Amino acid sequence: MQASVAIVILNWNGKKLLQQYLPSVVKYSLGCDVIVADNGSDDDSVEYVQTNFPMVRIIKLDKNYGFTGGYNRALKQVYAQYYVLLNDDVEVTKGWVNPVIKMMQQDTQIAVCQPKLMSYVNKNKFEYAGAAGGYIDYLGYPFCAGRIFERTEDDNGQYDKPREIFWASGAAMFVRSDLFHALGGLDEDFFAHMEEIDFCWRAKNAGYKIMYCPDSTVYHYGGGTLNKISPRKTFLNFRNSLLLLYKNLPASKLQNVLNKRKYLDKLAAFVFYIKGSKDEYKAVIDATKEFYAIKDKFKDKRNPLVDSYPNQVYEKSIVFASKILRKNKFSQIEKSIK
């Protein structure tokens, strides 16, 4: 491999995860720099890596800056043509790097690319966080080829062709290093969750492509830092989804979309409430309140030149398609993605 590739794993008190998953990264990433960026851990995960994997470089940060701030600070200290942002709960496979780098080398308009993300727990199923590549609907709700809301598909070869997508999962995201910095890195106001969608949307608005490479496969455990039903995660997802729209939507569509989201997010909160998930209900309400309290701070981050949605957007409502029409396979809605 002639390109220089740095695989950067952000760690926060993740010794058990590093014990489980780092060995595969070291074994199957020959020719790459493998780096653990530590987000101010207070367990002995750094000592574990230093003792057992002396070939792995350690970057120590003084505190937990979240996913966004941690990566931004660490990647300023990493020099390579391509970065791979890799979660600490991902098992990689033999030859996983080369197909993605080859694809990106063949097309300089590809800013970001992701491999096929499969479930570590059920290896025949796509994994929630990225599956076969990410998309959004016109209201900003994310989903994936192979995963719509909580429903994941079995892998039967249906997504074995490379495709342009809207967003690549931050669990295993390949990105050109020069573009990462030119686009300002990850937005630190997001802290965690949805930040990769924001980054990919900015890249698309700048004229670049986001791709899915099915010839590379990794297995993601998921929920390694925040539980899947964590109120904190719910808060971040709902708040950051609104920030995502506010930053990237064309002005002509923004208010209409935010009005519809206000209604749908209230409906989501109500569903949590009637199911007895009071903490989740409060998280959604608090997320909406915080967005409207801080949104003006994001005015300078809006791109005034954007006048339309980029491609790979589902032009209908994924909530309506999934919850009302029961279309829970990507193939059922794919034709409506422009």
Residues 278 and 155 occupy one common structural domain: no
**Burial category of 250 from C-beta neighbours within 10 Å (exposed 0-12, middle 13-18, buried 19 and up):** middle
Give residue 229's pLDDT.
66
How far apart are the C-alpha atoms of 165 and 40, rounded to whole Å? 34
**Residue 330, domain member (yes or no):** no
Residues 235 and 216 occupy one common structural domain: no
Residues 95 and 195 occupy one common structural domain: yes
Residues 253 and 188 occupy one common structural domain: no
Angle at 175 between CA 249 and CA 102, to 5 degrees: 125
**Residue 55, domain member (yes or no):** yes
Residues of the chain with pLDDT under 70: 1-2, 223-229
**Residue 61, domain member (yes or no):** yes
Residues 187 and 53 occupy one common structural domain: yes
Residues 196 and 261 occupy one common structural domain: no
**Residue 333, domain member (yes or no):** no
Residues 100 and 152 occupy one common structural domain: yes
**Residue 225, domain member (yes or no):** no
**Residue 130, domain member (yes or no):** yes
CATH code, domain with 44: 3.90.550.10
Domain of residue 121: give its range. Answer: 5-220
- Residue finishing a domain among 220, 250, 273: 220
Mind listing the pLDDT tens digit for each residue in 106-149? 999 999 999 999 999 999 999 999 999 999 999 999 999 999 99
**Residue 226, domain member (yes or no):** no
Give residue 3's pLDDT.
76
3-class secondary structure for the chain?
A: CCCCEEEEEEECCCHHHHHHHHHHHHHCCCCCEEEEEEECCCCCHHHHHHHHCCCCEEEEECCCCHHHHHHHHHHCCCCCCEEEEECCCEEECCCCCHHHHHHHHHCCCEEEEEEEEEECCCCCEECCCCCCCEEEECCCCEEECCEECCEECECCCCCCCCEEECECCCCEEEEEHHHHHHCCCCCHHHCCCCHHHHHHHHHHHCCCEEEEEEEEEEEECCCCCCCCCCHHHHHHHHHHHHHHHHHHCCHHHHHHHHHHHHHHHHHHHHHHHHCCCHHHHHHHHHHHHHHHHHHHHHHHHCCCCCCCCCCCEECCCHHHHHHHCCCCCHHHCHHHEC
Residues 129 and 276 occupy one common structural domain: no
Task: Say how many domains are in the chain.
Answer: 2
Tokens 């409906």, residue located: 267
**Residue 279, domain member (yes or no):** yes
Residues 164 and 235 occupy one common structural domain: no
- Residue finishing a domain among 201, 220, 239: 220
Give residue 228's pLDDT.
58
Can you give the pTM of this predicted structure?
0.94
Contact 25, 92 (CB under 8 A): yes
Task: Please state, as a whole number, how many other Cβ atoms lie within 10 Å of the Cβ of residue 190.
Answer: 23
Residues 152 and 258 occupy one common structural domain: no
Residues 144 and 21 occupy one common structural domain: yes
Residues 24 and 169 occupy one common structural domain: yes
- Residue finishing a domain among 220, 241, 268: 220
